[in-house]
Amino acid sequence: MAISRRCSGCNALLQTKRDLTKLEGVTKPSWRCRRCQTTVPGIVAERLKHQKQHEF
C-alpha cells in the first residue's frame, strides 16, 4: 500500500522521498516540503523515505 500525504502549507501531494528536502539538524534531521519548505512531521517523512518507488 502506497503512503501519500498532503502538505499543510501548499497542499502538494507528498508521495516519495523526492518530494521532501532533508535538513541536517544537531540531534536529528528535519524534513520539509520541497515546494514550500513547510515542515513535514518526522514520522510521515520516514514512512515516505522507506517506501518502494514502484508501489504507486
Tens-place pLDDT, residues 30-48:
899 999 999 999 888 888 8
Q: Is the pLDDT of residue 52 over 80?
A: no
Rounded Cα distance between 8 and 41, Å, is 10
Contacts of 6 (CB under 8 A, 6+ apart): 12, 13, 14
What does pTM read for this prediction? 0.72
The pLDDT score that the predictor gives to residue 56 is: 47
Residues 11-26, mean pLDDT to the nearest whole number? 87
Rounded Cα distance between 2 and 55, Å, is 6
> For the segment 7-17, what is each residue's pLDDT rounded down to a tens digit?
999 999 998 88
Q: Is the pLDDT of residue 54 over 90?
A: no
